[in-house]
Structures are given as C-alpha cells and as structure tokens.
Amino acid sequence: MGEFVRLEVSDAVATIRLDRPKMNAINARLRDELAEAARAADADPAVRAVVLYGGERVFAAGADIKEMAELSYVEAAEHCRALQRGLDAVAAIGAPVVAAITGYALGGGLELALCADFRVAGESAKVGQPEILLGVIPGAGGTQRLPRLIGPSRAKDLIFTGRHVPADEALALGLVDKVVPDAEVYEAAKEMAARYAGGPAAALRAAKQAVDAGLEADLATGLEIERLHFSGLFATDDQKIGMRGFVEEGPGKAKFTGR
C-alpha cells in the first residue's frame, strides 16, 4: 500500500490501482510505487492474473509535466531511464495482465497500458501519445511498444500528430481489445483476467515469455526459446495433470494447481 498505488488481491486476481488525484499523473513517487506493486504481484504465488486500473474517472492522463518542464539534458536522460524501468516492471509481470482504461490513457498513461497483455476500454475513453505537442517524443516505450502492437505506420500517425484516439478507433486499430460501457470497464477487465487465473500458472508464464522474447528475436531464435519453455514445462505438476486429464477424461476437464 503506497501513497498513490494500491495492490489488492482477490480470488487469484490482483488489482494494481493508481490513485493520485486528479488525473493519475505519473510522477516519480507514483512510478516507484507502481514498480514496487508490480514486483510484489509478480512474486506472490497467489496472484494468477493482474488488472491495472486508475479508477472510474481516468486511467492515467500522462506523466507529470510540471516535474519535467525544466529538466536539463542529463536530468531528462535519468528521468526517462527511471520511468522506463518503472514501466518495465509492469511488463515483466509473468502472469497475464489486463489494463482497464477509463477516461484518458495519454502519454505515459498509454505507455503503461501498453505494458499489459490486453486492454479493455470504456466507450468514452481516449488514448494517445501527445508528447509531440510538447516538443518531445514518447519516452517510456511509446515509440517501441506501440509499433509492435499496431504496426509502424499507424503508430507513426499517432506519435506524429499527438491526437487523441476514441475507443472505437482504438479497437479498430488493435490498440485495445474490447470496448464496453464506461461503468463496466473494471468488471470486464476482471472477468478477462479471471479467465486466465484458473489456468496452469507456469505454462501461462512460459507462453508470455516465449511470445514477448520471440518478438525481439529472429525466427530460429524464437523457435529455440519456444522449445526450451515447452520442454521445461514437463517438470511441472500441471503438465501431468493436464495431459493425464486429457487422456482419461477428455479436453477441458483438468483442475490445475499452479505448480
């Protein structure tokens, strides 16, 4: 429990809740608490899926510009490095992560949402990378994670213009995975997370690592990453439970233990 970030766990789903009035602007304190909560969730064996949530009003409207406006080059380089490290801690969570986007997810807020595996947005939500309007570029993953998600030309359009993208367009772009009524965002994200929470935890972690690491590698290296993760899972109880259950009872009947 931090000043601006809370970690709550219920039924194997953790919620990392941002709560810095009024717009969840990401300052150094929130960044550090976010990283701490992400590492705690990742280390907790009771956590099988994670929801990122900023509350009913806003996900995160961006980085705290007042904190950055007068930085020197050296200070800006370290600030960017620290922010990237903070968000990287979220991206490194081994369990499936769902971002529940209400209101705005702009700048650093969108970069945080991009660290999740899936994104659920409210009907009136808006997302974007408006840094260009401040005379800079995204500095916490926007130029790297966004093109990997939606392709370089679409990402360049959002980064070059800085425009706010409404939820329906974000869905069409593949920037969010589901759009629901504003009041249902958190519950929809929890329902999505719960679908994975009952699965084989080690296999889900291996699948996430294989996909994410494979995206950064050539095909031959990616296939080797996949082979190593695949074979390693034969040391888990869940592999025995899953395959024996399939042979004896058919598919979809296994009750995994997470070991």
Is 249 a residue of the active site? no
CB 28 within 8 A of CB 85: no
Q: Of these residues, 131, 191, 216, 226, which one is catalytic?
A: 131
Q: Rounded CA gap, 125 and 101, in Å? A: 7
Catalytic site includes residue 131: yes
**Regarding beta strands 126-128 and 165-166, do their DSSP bridges make them parallel or antiparallel, or are they unpaired?**
antiparallel
Which amino acid, residue 171?
A: L
Catalytic residue among 56, 111, 123, 169: 111
Q: Are 76 and 68 in contact (CB under 8 A)?
A: yes
Residues in CB range of 72: below 8 A, 6 or more apart: none
Instruction: Quote the CA–CA distance of 235 and 233 in Å, as a whole number.
Output: 5
Beta bridge partners of 166: 126
Residue in this structure with the two tokens 């800085």, named with its chain if needed: 162
Catalytic residue annotation:
111, 131
